[in-house]
Amino acid sequence: MARALGCGVRARVLIRPKAGILDPQGVAVERALPALGFAGVGNVHIGRLVELDVENPDQLPEMCEKLLANPLVEDYEVEHLDGSG
Amino acid sequence: MKFGVLQFPGSCDEIDALQAARRVGDAELIWHGDRDLKGADAIVVPGGFSYGDYLRAGAIARFSPAMGSVIAFANDGGLVLGICNGFQVLCEAHLLPGALLGNANLRFTFRQVELEVLYAGGSFFASSQIGERLSIPAKHAWGRYYADPQTLSAMDRAGQLVLRYAPGQNFNGSVHDIAGVCNERGNVFGLMPHPEHAVDVLTGGSADGLKIFESMRLAAEGARA
């Protein structure tokens, strides 16, 4: 994997609609799957995935709050991939 | 009296906004990279797809140099109107409460909508009556207004839920049929439908949109007097 940075970690930010807010894309997929013969599917939600190399992973929460997610309507979760790089 | 109309890469309604503003006063474009608001008495953040709507509509435009100046201008009491993408930018900038989500019907929808003025007066509806109907085009894919219930009841008490879709007109699934909201102070207003496209009966289906620009002119001139 190409690395732009000499050090730091690769991180993954998962962004999803907050529970209780209508997610029409999720609803559409939830309806489409049974139509294709996949029974027993529920609670489908569709969000965004941001992967990035960061030198200072401590800044990730602030990056999420300010730009990557809209905390009014989205929840986010930060995963550190493969430890330090 | 002069309007400043912002222009981002990906804006597409800034020229109509400029033309609409010029029916009631002077108007000039302000490039997103400029911090100078050119002495404008009121700012219009226009519709379109600023910065390609990447990440979320308005999320990147909100950090542009011009928006930095607009935020200071608004905090100083300056009049700011956000239309469609401009409304999204103002929400992302926290100049207005709430957020705009994908239309519940998952479609880009373009239609003439009937709106109702819920709070007349103020800087944006000076000559309107409560319950007055406006007929204005709307065209967007991300126009479903959302704010949490506590925020909505505070906004309702403060008279910030200014404009709503008339019964049967809410095609995007906005909470409480909300089409436009203002901030607590009443100097920042955003709406999804496009008043700048409804300034001439020939092309806009009505000239109702002009009332908002005219009201802004009156408010700006009143503030200066």
> What's the complex ipTM?
0.87
- Residue A18 at interface with chain B, using a CB cutoff of 8 Å: no
∠ CA B70-B183-B102, rounded to 5°:
85
Contact flag A24-B55 (C-beta cutoff 8 Å): no
CA–CA distance, B149 with B155 (Å, rounded to integer): 10
Catalytic, B84? Answer yes
Sign of CA dihedral B195, B199, B201, B204: negative
Average pLDDT over residues A29-50: 95
CA–CA distance, B27 with B6 (Å, rounded to integer): 11
Average pLDDT over residues A43-54: 96
Contact flag B99-A70 (C-beta cutoff 8 Å): yes
Has domain A9-84 been given CATH number 3.30.1280.10? yes
Residue A73 tokens, joined: 């309507």
Contact flag B56-A25 (C-beta cutoff 8 Å): no
CA–CA distance, B50 with B13 (Å, rounded to integer): 11
Residue A30 tokens, joined: 């939830």
Tell me, what's the pLDDT at A85?
A: 40
pLDDT at A4 over 60: no
Find the DSSP H helices in B23-162.
65-75, 85-92, 149-157
Place of tokens 């000039």: B28
Place of tokens 């949490």: B148
Share of chain B above pLDDT 70, in %: 100
CA–CA distance, B138 with B110 (Å, rounded to integer): 6
Tell me the pTM: 0.94
CATH code, B182? 3.40.50.880
Tell me, what's the pLDDT at A8?
A: 84
Average pLDDT over residues B45-60: 95
Share of chain A above pLDDT 70, in %: 88
By CA distance, what is A25's nearest residue in B? B106
Contact B177, B145 (CB under 8 A): no
CA–CA distance, A67 with A47 (Å, rounded to integer): 15
pLDDT, chain B, mean: 96
- Residue B55 at interface with chain A, using a CB cutoff of 8 Å: yes
Structural domain harbouring B22: 2-224
Contact flag B59-A70 (C-beta cutoff 8 Å): yes
Place of tokens 């190399």: A53
Tell me, what's the pLDDT at A84?
A: 46
Place of tokens 């011009």: B66
| Domain residue limits, chain A | 9-84
On chain B, the residues whose CB falls within 8 A of the CB of A24 are: 102-106, 173
pLDDT at B9 over 70: yes
Q: Tell me how long chain B is.
A: 225
- Residue B147 at interface with chain A, using a CB cutoff of 8 Å: yes
Tell me, what's the pLDDT at A82?
A: 75
